[in-house]
Amino acid sequence: MGGVKPEEAIDRMRALRAEAATLPHSTSSSEFNSWNLRVRSLLTRALGEHHHITERFIKTRWTPSMYTLGDTSAFSATFRATITRGAGHPRCRHR
């Protein structure tokens, strides 16, 4: 690993994963933006900028590409599922 000790990276990632469950359903929220930047920074320092996990996280789409105006269920469902995968939940696999 790069600029962070493995044990420290694991502890921080666990804390960020727990925090992900509390985020508002908005990619424009300050909470989400802060969380996203902190995860990206940790992955970059721990694994490297060009590691496949870091790159996959950076390329993550947090919202659906299409949804019906006024219907927020698709947005919320996609965001929640993606947050779970992006946070590295053990029961979710990246495809």
**Residue-wise pLDDT tens digits, 14-60:** 999 999 989 988 888 999 999 999 999 999 999 999 999 999 999 98
For the chain, what is the mean pLDDT? Answer: 81
How far is residue 27's CA from residue 4's CA, in Å, rounded to a whole number? 27
Look at 56 and 71; give whichever has higher pLDDT: 56
What integer pLDDT is reported at residue 81 of this predicted model? 76
Give the number of other CB atoms < 10 A from CB of residue 20. 21
What integer pLDDT is reported at residue 92 of this predicted model? 45
| pLDDT at residue 72 tops 70 | no
With contact defined as beta carbons under 8 Å apart, do 20 and 84 qualify? Answer: yes
Give the number of other CB atoms < 10 A from CB of residue 25. 15
What integer pLDDT is reported at residue 88 of this predicted model? 59
User: pTM for the whole thing?
Assistant: 0.72
- Number of residues in the chain: 95
pLDDT confidence band for 93 (50 / 70 / 90): very low
